[in-house]
Amino acid sequence: MIVNPTPQGWEIIFQRAHALLAAKLAYYLHEELRTDESLWLEMLSSIAEHDDGQQGWKGKNHLTEAGAPKDLTQQKYNLEQARSVVSESAQKSRWIALMASLHTYHLHHIFQGDSKELDAFLEEQLDYQKSLRRSLGINKEASERAYTIMRWCDECSLVLCKSQIPPQGRKLEIGKLPKNTPRFIFQLDNKFCITPWPFKSDSFEISLEYYSVEQLVFENDEELRQLLGHQSPEVRRWQMVKR
């Protein structure tokens, strides 16, 4: 989950909703920044599903020690979950499996050396990626270029979900898309701009569903799940415009 504190309690965004927002951004990307058009639908699927396989609602998986909803930045890696994400992706297509493996490796390699099991998993992913590239007939450069798109859309979505855009038109760098050009996001007059503009349309709207929670602490995951299950989501919208 993505958890933002509010004056009343918490704003909760499911990671699958964040991933869908990332896919919406990818959908509007200019054709010159995309991967091979024959794989673009699979690329969108990869981005929309890159946060699947989250831990089940049991015990206190989604809570801090104090009982507050736990933000994704407070989660320690879970190798069982990571393996599940990569394995399930392979049931869709080799391309989706490759993107899932690259993303899983990216998220976990910063912990390299933490355990022998983790190090073995990372080596497995590198070998798996080589095998998938060979099977697909593509080189490492092409796969990394495609993953750059997923990572950029993921980072941009997180910035929006976490409301991290600075005020007063100040710019925030949000990484690079293919062609290695840095991109910056900023806000003017309740409209959101990215420069250089990477999209095919000069303006479009994207949206996200989230939940507002006033209860501050919970006994267990089930109590939080029950509360969220009885609430209707709210919708946040962003008007993206070229400036």
Dihedral through CA 97, CA 98, CA 104, CA 108, nearest 10? 140
- Crossing angle of helices 94-108/116-136, nearest 10°? 150
One digit per residue, pLDDT tens: the chain, 243 residues?
999 999 999 999 999 999 999 999 999 999 988 888 888 999 999 999 877 666 677 788 899 999 999 998 888 778 888 898 899 899 999 999 999 999 999 999 988 888 999 999 999 999 999 999 999 999 999 999 999 999 999 999 999 999 999 988 999 999 888 877 889 999 998 899 999 999 999 999 999 999 999 999 999 999 999 999 999 999 999 999 999
Give the closest residue to 120 by CA, choosing from 128, 54, 134, 144: 128
Predicted pLDDT of residue 52: 66
- Rounded CA separation 88/239 (Å): 34
Residues 39 and 95: beta-carbon distance below 8 Å: yes
- Distances from the Cα of 19 to the Cαs of 24, 46, 77, in angstroms? 9, 9, 18
b/e burial code for range 64-81 (CB count within 10 A of at least 16 → b):
eeebbbbbbeeeeeeeee
Dihedral through CA 72, CA 168, CA 195, CA 19, nearest 10? 20
DSSP label of 8: S
Predicted pLDDT of residue 61: 85
Give the closest residue to 146 by CA, choosing from 110, 111, 112, 106: 106
